[in-house]
Amino acid sequence: MTEYVDVQTAAGRVRGRWRPTTGGRGASRSAAFLGIPFAEAPTGDLRFQAPVPKAPWEGVLDALEFAATAQRGDPGVTLIPEPSVEGDSTLNVNVFTPDPTAAGLPVLVWIHGGGYFAGSPASPWYDGRNFNRDGVVTVSISYRLGFDGFGWIADAPSNRGVRDWLLALEWVQQNIAAFGGDPGRVTIAGQSAGGGAVLTLLGMEAAQHLFHGVYAISGALGDVAPARAEAFGRALAAAAGVEPTVAGFATVAEDRLLALQKKATQLGPSSMTTMIDEGLPLGPAIDGDLLTRPTRESLRAGVGADKPLVIGAADDEFTMAFTGKAATALRWVPQSVLFNRLGLPRSIRAEYLAANADIARLGKARLAGRVLTDRMFRRAVPRIAADRADAPTWLYRFSWPSGHFGFAEHCLDVPFFFDCLDGPSMEALAGPNPPQTLADDLHGAAVAFVTTADPGWPRHEGDAGTVRVYDVQTRDVADAYASVRALI
């Protein structure tokens, strides 16, 4: 059997490579088509513009290696291995299929995280081989990051990174049937900023025709206010010594703009509070065009109500920020000062502490991590469920404690979702021998949702509905987000 396989797309022919799946069930092999461009390189005159669909090419395009990424340079040690790939043509899709000659297979589209300024679709953890094994065509997409993707410029299209998502999803609609997928059965999924991306798309009228279900993991919404987006853009232009226009920013070299962006977004004591209260300064912004209002307002208005949604978070996403020397230092910080810094209102502290007494007993570091996690991630889960009212919504919690950190930290659930516990850099996040049975449960529910629009546990109804809790033993628990109610 040949190692390679060709597929005809709307823009030209692409060549992928067969690889084995793992797990000993389902499809035994998966074809990977890496780095297929869906847009022209966003450089030169196209740098700060809306993405332009890729022009047709002649011959066969080798799609055997990951293409250039918007993330630049060595990202260092990250929770998820997300390498940078140098090059200009950064707007690409990676497609994984069990059978390009099939028809009507369900499709999963993955949007990576990274705070809207970092991250890469070239992670080995995002390989769709085991979704392929279970009958799901999988696509990962790239998009412009940081200021290039989301920064306000007076005369440039807004939300360029969002426009990249939309064009990538249009590519899926036009081409996925050639890879065996059904354009009428597309689920979008993502984690962290990627989870925020899919929630943003769920609340966006202009995106509704592009997908049919949403799986949001630890979603961090952007929803940057117009005044804040403009102020950041003007301040960055001033720091660069240019006008806040396309012509002005075009004179700033990419590496210098990245350095200025990094300096402008560094977190200190005061900016930490702002980030907790208002979110990151670069991300999807309310622009009156694509995003006419905050996402939660759109959901309350019924946008996306016909789309099934799975949404959840890990129990202690950012507790790792308070480990090591930080944990030692917190011993000397009065609890009231700590709560002030984390923005926990005095009026709800007693109620919150009572609901989280088990965490409080573990010390200030664990309590601080839980407060930060709840404010940035966990309270959004029941809030969004309430916003959607009777729309089909399922909630989960990822509670399994990492064998390395001892709690369920940010990104820990991703390799379980992709069923890739044999992947690289796993022990640093999950510890030795993470449980395959948990991956079977979580990945299996994801496959069920993508395939049938039902993950296999009861829909969430009311304030105290059922929540799937992924832990040493997976179980369904009523009102499993009760501990964040004081924050809602």
443 catalytic residue (yes or no): no
Distance in angstroms (rounded) separating the CA atoms of residues 339 and 345:
8
CA count, 13 A, side-chain hemisphere, 199: 35
Distance in angstroms (rounded) separating the CA atoms of residues 417 and 420:
8
Exactly one of 317, 402, 409, 443 is catalytic; name it.
Answer: 317
C-alpha 461: how far from chain center: 25
Distance in angstroms (rounded) separating the CA atoms of residues 382 and 387:
9
Residues 127 and 418 sit within 8 Å (Cβ to Cβ): yes
Which tokens hold the place of 128? 């769709």
Distances (CA, A) of 55 to 40, 165, 290: 7, 18, 25
Residues 107 and 181 sit within 8 Å (Cβ to Cβ): yes
Q: Is 235 helix (H, G, I), strand (E, B) or coil?
A: helix
460 catalytic residue (yes or no): no
Q: How would you class 227 by CB atoms within 10 Å of its CB: exposed for 0-12, middle for 13-18, buried for 19 or more?
A: exposed
Exactly one of 30, 120, 192, 483 is catalytic; name it.
Answer: 192
Distances (CA, A) of 361 to 327, 354, 356: 14, 11, 9
Exactly one of 112, 123, 142, 410 is catalytic; name it.
Answer: 410
Distance in angstroms (rounded) separating the CA atoms of residues 45 and 42:
8
Q: 160-175 vs 193-202: helix axis angle to the nearest 10?
A: 70
Residues 18 and 29 sit within 8 Å (Cβ to Cβ): yes
Q: Is the dihedral of CA 167, 173, 177, 182 positive or negative?
A: positive
**Of 144, 160, 164, 215, whose CA–CA distance to 381 is shortest?**
215
410 catalytic residue (yes or no): yes
The CA-CA-CA angle for residues 242, 244, 250, to 5°, reads 65
The CA-CA-CA angle for residues 435, 32, 12, to 5°, reads 155
Q: How would you class 414 by CB atoms within 10 Å of its CB: exposed for 0-12, middle for 13-18, buried for 19 or more?
A: buried
C-alpha 342: how far from chain center: 24
Q: How would you class 282 by CB atoms within 10 Å of its CB: exposed for 0-12, middle for 13-18, buried for 19 or more?
A: buried
Name the residues annotated as catalytic.
192, 317, 410
